[in-house]
Amino acid sequence: MLCDLLTYNDEKPHRCDVCGKNFVSSSNLIRHKDTHRPDKLYTCSMCHKQFTQRGYLHKHMFIHTAGRAHKCIACGKQFTEGSDLKKHLRTHSGEKPHKCHLCQKTFTESGNLKKHLQTHTGQRPHRCEICSKTFLSTSDLARHKDVHMQEKAYTCFVCRAQFTQSSSLKLHMLTHSGERPHTCSVCHKRFTQYGHLKSHMLIHAGHKPHECHICTKTFRTSSDLTKHKRTHTRGGKTMGM
């Protein structure tokens, strides 16, 4: 498995010295580095939105000039570019053309596959400069930063706990109401969160996608695997190697 990971990294030899992301070519790396620039050079003349690359501005301009010419025949949703429509159609067809070469899990988009591969390497290249917590993607880091920057405007009227997002407050309220809106279709067990139901369904499917790289034992969830890995460590040393 380690050899496979090294091969994957070798295919992308150009590394960003800011966030550690790898690229196939130097030109892709140069374009990516623009996203780290604090100044946004290209401005839309119609809505004044700014972009780091001319190509992004050109794509954005379709919103104002060409409209949304690409329409989904299944649901009627419209897109400015054919490539975006093509990705969207997979939500109807269930097609997942991007496969992980390590665990065979499939994805609808290449970006999701790239993010998934980091779960095998353990790489979390995006670090919060405020609390040093690390994340798999820039989007995860951006959401996390809201915790530091946003005012906690949503308050629970029962216990006065405060939240930065209304969705977090809504989820919290379930702890007071006892409501469990997500039901297992097999055994009818109910859960407060969809993620908990999804994890539970693995029990019925018998699927254990998380494998220990030391003893090859498999687990249903990454948290179970993390707990198990502690059994291999004693006094900071890894056992069984």
Residues 173 and 101: their CA atoms lie apart, in Å, by 41
Q: What is the pLDDT of residues 227-236, one digit of tens each?
A: 888 888 755 4
Nearest to 169 by CA among 156, 185, 182, 188: 156
Residue at 208 is within a domain: yes
Residue at 237 is within a domain: no
State the burial class of residue 21 (Cβ atoms within 10 Å of its Cβ: 0-12, 13-18, 19+).
Answer: buried
Q: Which domain holds residue 190?
A: 182-225
Whether residues 173 and 188 share a domain: the answer is: no
Residue at 190 is within a domain: yes
**Based on the structure, what is the number of domains in the chain?**
3
Q: Where is 89: in which H helix or E strand?
A: helix 82-93
Q: What is the pLDDT of residues 82-124, one digit of tens each?
A: 788 888 888 888 888 888 888 888 888 888 888 788 778 777 8
Residue at 102 is within a domain: no
Residue at 193 is within a domain: yes
Q: Is the dihedral of CA 55, 88, 222, 4 positive or negative?
A: negative
- Whole-number percent of the chain with pLDDT over 90: 0
Residue at 7 is within a domain: no
Residue at 123 is within a domain: no
CATH of the domain at 169: 3.30.160.60
CATH of the domain at 24: 3.30.160
Q: Is the dihedral of CA 153, 156, 159, 141 positive or negative?
A: negative
At 194 the pLDDT is 79
Residue at 198 is within a domain: yes
Residues 142 and 51: their CA atoms lie apart, in Å, by 17
